[in-house]
Structure 1
Amino acid sequence: MLLILLFFVAMWAGAQNALAGGGSFLTLPTLMLTGMDARAANVTSCVALFPAQIATGWTGRDLSRGAAGLSLRTLFIISIVGGAVGAVILLLTPPAFFARLVPWLVLFATAVFAYGSFLRKPGEANAHLSPRGAMASQFLISVYGGYFGGGIGFLMVAALTMAGQNVRIAAATKNVLAAVMNASAVAIFLFSPDLHLAQALVTSLGATIGGVVGARLLHHIPDKWLRIVVIIIGALLTLGLFLRAP
C-alpha cells in the first residue's frame, strides 16, 4: 500500500519538478513513511529522481553556456567534484545527526525557493561575479547539491545570472549542471547500504511519468500558483519535521 502511495506521490513530484521545482519536498517525507531514516530517504530520493534530471538537462543542452569567463566544461568539472564531495560528507554524517539537520535544510531550501520566486529584485542580477567567485559559488552549491539538493536550482540561477548569463541561459545551464553534480552523487550512492532499491525504482518510475505529463502541461498551468504550492509544501514539511525531530 505504501509503495502505491509512493508511486503517485512520485508522479506528482515529477510533474512538480518539470513545472516549477520542489519535487524532493514530496519524495523525502513519503520515503521516510516507508520506514527508512532521513539520510536513507535523501539518498534514495536523489538516485530515484536522477533519470528525470538527465532528460531535462539533455533537452536544454543547446542553450547551456559557460559564465564569468569560465567554460561550460570547467563548470562541468567543478560540479562533478563538488557533488561527489557532498555525497561523501552525507554518507559520513551519522543518521541521527542528519535527522536533526534535515528540518533546517528544508527550511533553508524553502526560503531560497520563496526568495527566488517572489522576493528577488530584477536589478540584483546586475551584480557581478569574478571567475574565482563563480568557481567558488558553483563548487559550494555543488557540495550542497550532493549533500541535500533542495533549492540548488535557484541558488545556481542566482549565481549564474550574477556571473553574466541571462535568465533563460542560466536556467538551461542550471539543468545541465544539476544533472552533472547529481551524477557523481548517484555514482557513490549506488554502493551505499542506505539506498533502498525497491522504493527507488517505484519513485523513479512515478517521477518519470509525472515529468512527462508536467512537461506537456507546462504552458497551461500558471507558474505563480505552482510556486506557491511548492512553498506551502515546504513550509508544512519544515513544521512537521521540526515537530518530529529527535
Structure 2
Amino acid sequence: MNWRDLVLVVVSFAAGAQNALAGGGSFLTFPALLFAGLDPRAANITSTIALFPGQVTTGLAGRNLVMGAAGLGFGGLFGISLVGGALGAVLLLVTPPGVFARMVPFLVLFATIVFAWGSFVRRSTREGATARLGRRSAIIVQFMISIYGGYFGGGIGILMLAALTAAGVAVRHAGATKNVLAGVMNASAVAVFLTEARVAWDLVAYVAVAAIAGGLLGVFMLRRINETVLRAGVVAIGLALTIGLFITMP
C-alpha cells in the first residue's frame, strides 16, 4: 500500500463515520479521489460505488431506529428514494454536472439553516408537537433529494436530516432513517453506474472497506451521543461543508 492508498483509507474511514452521523461523506472521498488522479466525473461515480457497501452496513446496523415521516410509511420513503436515485444517476450520465455542482453549496447551506432552526430555535419535535412538513411536501422533498443523491450525492444526509426533523422525527431516528434511505437511492445509482466504464475499481476496494469500518463506528456513536450534542454536531458539519464548498466552487 503506497501513501496515496493510505490517505484514501484514512479519509474513507472518516467518510463512513460522517455518513452515519450526519451525511456528507462523499465530500471527503470525492476530493481524495481527485487527488488520486481521477477526473471529476470518474471521481464522483467511483465515490458513489465505493461508499455504497458502507451505507448498506450502516443502515442495517441502525435499522431498529428507522421510521416513516409526516404520515408517510417507511415503505413509501423507500420507493421514492429508489426511483429518484435512478433518475438522478441517469441525468448525471447524460448531462454536464457543472451547473448543478454550482448549486450544491447553496443547497447544503439551506439544509443546515433549516436543521439548526428546527433544532434550536423552534424546537417542536418533542412528543405531542405538530409536524411542520406535511405528507405531500415530504413526498416532493424526498423525491427531489433522491434525484440529487443519484446525480451528485454530496450533502444528502444533511438535506434528509433537515426534511425528516421538519416532519417531526426525532434526530436519532432521523439519522438512522436517512442512513437507510441514502443506501436505497445509491443502490439505484450504483446499478446505473455499473453500465459506465469510468470506474476506478482498483480504488473502490480501499474506500469501501474503510468506509464500512467508519460507518459502524458512526452508528455506535449515533446510539450513544447526547441528542443536543448530536444536533450541534450536525450543524457544525453542515457549516464546515458549506464553507468548504463555497471555497472550492468553480
Instruction: Mark yes or no: TM-score above 0.5.
Output: yes
Which runs of structure 2 are paired with 1:173-192 in the superposition (5 Å)? 173-192=177-196
Q: Does 1:122 align with 2:122?
A: yes
Q: Does 1:69 align with 2:65?
A: no
TM-score w.r.t. length of structure 2: 0.81
Contact 2:58 2:219 in 1 (8 A): no
Query: Aligned with 1:22: secondary structure?
Result: coil
Contact 2:115 2:161 in 1 (8 A): no
User: Which residue number in structure 1 is paired with residue 205 of structure 2?
Assistant: 201
Distance 1:103 1:135, change over 3 A: closer
Deviation at 1:199, TM superposition (A): 1.5
Q: Does 1:157 align with 2:155?
A: no
Question: What is the number of equivalent residue pairs in this alignment?
Answer: 238
Contact 1:109 1:150 in 2 (8 A): no
Q: Does 1:145 align with 2:149?
A: yes
- What is the CA deviation profile of residues 6-33 of structure 1, one whole-angstrom value per residue up to 9, with x for unaligned ones? 1222122223333443321111111111
User: Which residue number in structure 2 is paired with residue 102 of structure 1?
Assistant: 101
User: Which residue number in structure 2 is paired with residue 5 of structure 1?
Assistant: 7
TM-score w.r.t. length of structure 1: 0.82
User: Which residue number in structure 2 is paired with residue 49 of structure 1?
Assistant: 51
190-199 or 123-132, larger mean C-alpha shift:
123-132
- What is the CA deviation profile of residues 52-84 of structure 1, one whole-angstrom value per residue up to 9, with x for unaligned ones? 111121122223222333222122111100000
Amino acid at match of 1:122: R
Amino acid at match of 2:243: A
User: Which residue number in structure 1 is paired with residue 37 of structure 2?
Assistant: 35
- What is the CA deviation profile of residues 119-151 of structure 1, one whole-angstrom value per residue up to 9, with x for unaligned ones? 443346645333322221111111111111222
2-structure distance, mates of 1:228, 1:160: 18
Percent of residue pairs identical: 46
Equivalent of 2:109 in 85, 108, 111:
111
Deviation at 1:207, TM superposition (A): 1.5
193-202 or 61-70, larger mean C-alpha shift:
61-70
2-structure distance, mates of 1:237, 1:25: 9
1-structure distance, mates of 2:177, 2:190: 20
Equivalent of 1:235 in 223, 226, 243:
243
Give 5+ residue unaligned stretches, structure 2.
Answer: none
Distance 1:164 1:104, change over 3 A: closer
- What is the CA deviation profile of residues 90-122 of structure 1, one whole-angstrom value per residue up to 9, with x for unaligned ones? 11123xxx25643542x1354146425644433
Contact 1:64 1:170 in 2 (8 A): yes
Query: Aligned with 1:193: secondary structure?
Result: coil
172-181 or 78-87, larger mean C-alpha shift:
172-181
Contact 1:27 1:45 in 2 (8 A): yes
Contact 1:39 1:99 in 2 (8 A): no
2-structure distance, mates of 1:102, 1:129: 27
Contact 1:116 1:154 in 2 (8 A): no
- What is the CA deviation profile of residues 157-209 of structure 1, one whole-angstrom value per residue up to 9, with x for unaligned ones? 33233334333333332222121111111111122123211112111122223
1-structure distance, mates of 2:101, 2:28: 14
Which runs of structure 2 are paired with 1:84-99 in the superposition (5 Å)? 84-94=86-96, 98-99=97-98
Give 5+ residue unaligned stretches, structure 1.
Answer: none
Distance 1:103 1:2, change over 3 A: farther
Contact 1:38 1:102 in 2 (8 A): no
2-structure distance, mates of 1:197, 1:184: 19
